[in-house]
Amino acid sequence: MALTLADIEQLFATRGGEQYSGEPVTQLEHALQCAMLAENSDADDALVTAALLHDLGHLLHDLGATPTLQGVDDVHQYRALPFLRGLFGDAVIEPVKLHVDAKRYLCATRPDYFAALSEDSKRSLALQGGIFSPGQADSFIRLPGASAAVRLRIWDDLAKAEGLTTPPLAHFMERAQKCVLPEAPAAPPPEGRRQWPGEAGSTAARE
């Protein structure tokens, strides 16, 4: 079932304060920093929105704070897709879906990229399939949305600065509103508030 913008705001309010695995920022701080970097690079509304939401899948599971230490890939790049389809089009969805493989691509094509990754990012890389071969890298960059995903990935890697001031979530949600599909679901009534994986008493589906 597709989320609404109100659902996304609620999800960030509920779980955005959780620590981003292995980094000195929260999930919300990371999302806002990534969206700000996209905006500062003159990205369009769709790519700024993808930057804001690229790690939303981390907030849609209850696998614990650092799944990589358990040898678990949380496949967050796919976990969010069923919730975002129906709300946004491919210009938002594809960079979200491909931003993990963009890391594999950058490791294959930029000699210094791997060394600059955080330890948690290196652990997740191994779980996500490792560095692309030259053939895999060539096939990846030809995919629709791959170039945008590479841009997003670079901002993603930078968006881990402790104490950095960013615009508020509402600022980026205004840009996200411009990307909402005409047929997207309406906001639910207040009594229809969702419960998310990881919340006390949650029965939310593990998608």
Overall residue count recorded for the chain in this entry: 207
Is residue 148 scored above 50 in pLDDT? yes
pLDDT digits (tens, 9 = 90+) for 182-192: 988 766 655 55
Q: What is the pLDDT of residue 63?
A: 47
- Who wins on pLDDT, 169 or 196? 169
What pLDDT band is residue 128 in, cutting at 50, 70 and 90? confident
Angstrom distance (rounded) from CA 129 to CA 123:
11
Q: What is the pLDDT of residue 79?
A: 82
Angstrom distance (rounded) from CA 119 to CA 96:
22
Q: How many domains does the chain have?
A: 1
Is residue 5 scored above 80 in pLDDT? yes
Residue type, 58: H
Residue 187 belongs to some domain of the structure: no
Determine which of 1-5, 6-10, 14-18, 183-187 has the lowest per-residue pLDDT on average: 183-187
Residue 195 belongs to some domain of the structure: no
Residue 18 belongs to some domain of the structure: no
Residue 191 belongs to some domain of the structure: no
Nearest in space to 2 (alpha carbons), one of 76, 81, 62: 81
Residue 139 belongs to some domain of the structure: yes
Instruction: Show the domain range for 111.
Output: 5-13+24-181
- Who wins on pLDDT, 124 or 82? 82
CATH of the domain at 123: 1.10.3210.10
Q: In whole angstroms, what separates CA 93 from the centre of its chain?
A: 10
Q: What is the pLDDT of residue 202?
A: 45
Residue 121 belongs to some domain of the structure: yes
pLDDT digits (tens, 9 = 90+) for 96-110: 999 999 999 999 999
| 53-72 CB burial, b ≥16 within 10 A, e <16 | bbbbbbbbbebeebbbeeee
Residue 203 belongs to some domain of the structure: no
- Who wins on pLDDT, 198 or 72? 198
What pLDDT band is residue 124 in, cutting at 50, 70 and 90? confident
pTM, whole model, 2 decimals?
A: 0.84
Angstrom distance (rounded) from CA 207 to CA 122:
25
pLDDT digits (tens, 9 = 90+) for 38-93: 999 999 999 999 999 999 988 886 645 555 545 444 567 778 898 899 999 999 99
Q: What is the pLDDT of residue 129?
A: 82
CA dihedral 106, 109, 115, 119 (to 10 degrees): 30
Q: What is the pLDDT of residue 28?
A: 97
Q: What is the pLDDT of residue 33?
A: 98
Is residue 207 scored above 70 in pLDDT? no
Residue 71 belongs to some domain of the structure: yes
